[in-house]
Amino acid sequence: MTSPPHDAPPPTAPTTSLVGAAVLDSLHLSPAAVHSAPASAAPAATPTMPRDSMSSLNSSFANVSFGIGPEPRADERTRLLYTHAANSTLANAHVRALATNPNDLLNPNDPKIKEDIIRMIIQYLSNNGYHAAKLTLQDEANVRHFEHQETQHELRRLRKAIVDGDWAEVDRLLLAKPLHRHQKAFLYALYKQQYLESIEHHELHKAFTFLNKRLKPLEAYQTTPDEFRDLCYLLTAKSIHDAPSFRNWDGIGPGRERLVEQLQSMMDLDETGVLGTGGARDNVYVPPNRLVTLLQQAVAHQVEAARYHPKSTPRVGTLLEDYSTVVLPNATRHVLRGHEENVKGVAFVGNAGKWIASASSDHTARVWDTEAGGGRVVGGACGKDLGRAANRAGTQVATVSGDASVRLWDLHRLHDSAGAASADGTGNGAPVAETEPAETAVPCVSVLKNHAAGDLYTVQYHPGSAAHIATGGYDKQVRLTDVSSGQVVKSFAGHQLSVTSVAFSPMGNVIVSGSKDSTIRFWDVLSGLCVRTLTSHLGEVTGVALSPSGTYLLSASKDNSNRLWDTRMMPRPLRRFKGHTNTAKNFVRASFAGAGDGMLVVGGSEDGAVYVWDRDSGAVVQRLRGHAGIVYDVRWCQRQQLLVSCSEDATVRTWHYDESVPVCPDEGALTARW
């Protein structure tokens, strides 16, 4: 595809507005450094950073402690990376499948589960001396120990008064403070007992008054439909046993005892969901250190469910993210064939990554089974398919094409027939699968045309939901579109040439865009304002990507470099990744990979190789060869721990770690540097 000429110089950076300052703060950007260096300036060296920032940048890989120092040399980091990447072995696919549906194993909305979680937290706080926090948690969970003790004291007095027939004391205790949320039902039973005792004692006038003033207002709480009618009948009956509802009446004493039992049962039931009160539920045995034990079991399950198992026991350093092994893909897993022309874009579908979506210049997009390697035709467009994206749930794919349209494809049918096309069916590192996709079309549910005529190059779903997408292309604008209505919610104008790539911040409040005008722009989604412009690249920006936390920005450019930016310390990049080739009229992109906040950087190249760099040192740690043409795009799936790439050779490849292949491509050269 021929790039339009640079018909306008890059614009100057706008002044940061109040709205822009707020957005920059949410992204850790400093408003004091809004303007970046001029485009003609030479690339800057890595800036001096505060000690705590440098320590953060050079922390241990992801959530595994490797025992490295705060500022390791590039060679040391590379050797450590190879060592720990080789310390993995392939896991069982069945165990991994269990981890994909955790709600089938444990329902977090189960009230009993919620109660158990609170109980374990209370135990943990108590064991570690956080007594104030424990009391606060008990209070917020409606656990008030002293109130309960007072209630228990009043309950004992109430039981004694009922057994003794001291109805004046009973009325005083019940009317002074309600003891139960269903007290009216108990009052009806209580008044019924008093009424029956009056009938038993032949105090008919007192019984008649009691019936009208006490029982009649509570008639709705009768235990049988005819009970209140039978109570009225007792005023003229010879004996209580003459009324059908009271044929089993066994006297005043047993009646009072049953009333006390009813009160106790009611109070016990009310305490079922209360913790820390000494009630019935509080007698549940909580094993020592139960919360810590469960967390250890959860981490052990994550280790077991990972695609690759460590050969030695790992050291987990955080619970804020799932455990994952350090993986350096070193071999082709599947070669996915079916496209007839170059494949310009590829992505894993959803967070689970069970499917792979690809877009090609042959006017089609395809969806492939990640495990088996088989695929389905998504559909054709009026122009060349140039980009694709999927929502997090993996139920919808969006593609953009040369006719300025966005097409949305429903993938629900694929989930119902997963595994229909399979090369080996195991997904456990079988030999390279040369697959032909089944010609089964996936339905297109919507066609959106909100851009002016020309190619669309990029599309991304909003990270919070699948309700909005951001698109960019030849008309120089980024547009935010409501998927359900098809209406443009916001347009972002400011680029002087085509928009080549867009990315959302993790919170979805900022859109980052790259353009052929060599600039990168940050847009506030709510106001539509550009809050920052980066102009350091000397060539067209072909791709932008944000790390999972939004701390790092990665940009790819035709100035033959991929650049890493710390969004808290711009406008100068942290480092440049070199070794690949990106200078011609192609969209060669890069993205983050690996555990944690993207410990690796992966990207394509015009020399036909997939490049893998260490993010914190900039060293090339892997060159994956296999494609027979330009590699346009490379993506990583943390859940699958696989790479996928697309190429000019009309194929899509997945890459995995093969224990039989050396993880270090040139161990001799590395040793020589030591």
Reference 364, options 437, 435, 451, 458; nearest CA is: 437
Higher pLDDT, 450 or 36: 450
Radius of gyration (Cα) for the chain, nearest Å?
Answer: 35
**Is the pLDDT at 348 greater than 80, yes or no?**
yes
Quote the mean pLDDT of the chain.
77
Reference 641, options 408, 395, 427; nearest CA is: 427
Tell me if residue 164 falls in helix, strand or coil: helix
Angle (CA) 498-339-329 rounded to 5° is 85
Q: What is the pLDDT of residues 256-275, one digit of tens each?
A: 998 888 887 777 655 544 44
Amino acid identity of 638?
Q
pLDDT at position 427 is 37
Contact 460, 469 (CB under 8 A): yes
pLDDT at position 466 is 76
Mean pLDDT of 305-331: 80
How much of the chain exceeds pLDDT 90, in percent? 27
CA distance 131 to 122: 9
What dihedral do alpha carbons 207, 209, 213, 217 form, nearest 10°?
50
pLDDT at position 547 is 94
Q: Cα 442 to chain center, whole Å?
A: 26
Report the relative pairing of strands 406-410 and 444-448 from DSSP bridges. antiparallel
The confidence band for 585, taking pLDDT boundaries of 50, 70 and 90, is confident
**Is the pLDDT at 63 greater than 80, yes or no?**
no
Question: Is the CA virtual torsion 244, 250, 253, 257 positive or negative?
Answer: negative
Angle (CA) 356-381-416 rounded to 5° is 40
Q: Which of 88-102, 324-338, 482-496, 576-590 has the lowest mean pLDDT?
A: 88-102
**Is the pLDDT at 426 greater than 50, yes or no?**
no
All structural domains of the chain? 179-272 (no CATH), 339-414+439-592 (2.130.10.10)
CA distance 267 to 171: 18
Report the relative pairing of strands 331-337 and 433-435 from DSSP bridges. parallel
pLDDT at position 455 is 86
CA distance 336 to 339: 9
Look up residue 161 and give its two tokens: 């008064």
pLDDT at position 643 is 94
What dihedral do alpha carbons 201, 203, 206, 207 form, nearest 10°?
70
Q: Which of 196-200, 495-499, 669-673 has the lowest mean pLDDT?
A: 669-673
Place of tokens 């032909």: 436
Mean pLDDT of 626-648: 93
Instruction: Report the range out of 24-28, 358-362, 394-398, 573-577 with the highest average pLDDT.
Output: 573-577
Look up residue 162 and give its two tokens: 């009922």
pLDDT at position 83 is 73
Give the other-Cβ count within 10 Å of 146's Cβ.
7
The confidence band for 439, taking pLDDT boundaries of 50, 70 and 90, is very low
pLDDT at position 385 is 52
Higher pLDDT, 209 or 103: 209
Measure the N-to-C terminal CA separation of the chain; round to a whole number of Å: 45
CA distance 272 to 529: 55
CA distance 101 to 189: 49
- Please list, residue by residue across 349-364, b when 16 or more beta carbons sit within 10 angstroms of its beta carbon and e when fewer do: bbebbbbbbbbbbbbb
- Please list, residue by residue across 311-334, b when 16 or more beta carbons sit within 10 angstroms of its beta carbon and e when fewer do: eeebebbeeebbbbbbbbbbbbbb
Q: What are phi and psi of 282, to 5 degrees?
A: -75, -5
The confidence band for 379, taking pLDDT boundaries of 50, 70 and 90, is low
pLDDT at position 470 is 94
Instruction: Report the range out of 101-115, 123-137, 264-278 with the highest average pLDDT.
Output: 123-137
pLDDT at position 642 is 92
The confidence band for 384, taking pLDDT boundaries of 50, 70 and 90, is low
Kindly state the DSSP code that residue 17 receives in the 8-state scheme. -
Q: What is the pLDDT of residues 219-229, one digit of tens each?
A: 888 888 889 99
**Is the pLDDT at 569 greater than 50, yes or no?**
yes
Q: Which of 204-208, 439-443, 503-507 has the lowest mean pLDDT?
A: 439-443
**Is the pLDDT at 550 greater than 60, yes or no?**
yes
**Is the pLDDT at 111 greater than 80, yes or no?**
no
- Name residues whose C-beta falls within 8 Å of residue 442's C-beta, 6 or more positions apart in sequence: 367, 376, 377, 378, 379, 397, 409, 410, 411, 413, 414
CA distance 567 to 588: 23
- E strands along 293-384, which residues? 308-310, 331-337, 343-349, 355-360, 364-369, 375-380
Q: Give the containing element (helix H, strand E) for 614.
A: strand 609-614
pLDDT at position 576 is 92
Which bin fits 276, alpha (ψ -120 to 50), beta or left (φ > 0)? left
Strand partners, 623: 611
CA distance 380 to 516: 27
Report the relative pairing of strands 468-473 and 477-482 from DSSP bridges. antiparallel
The confidence band for 100, taking pLDDT boundaries of 50, 70 and 90, is low
CA distance 561 to 452: 31
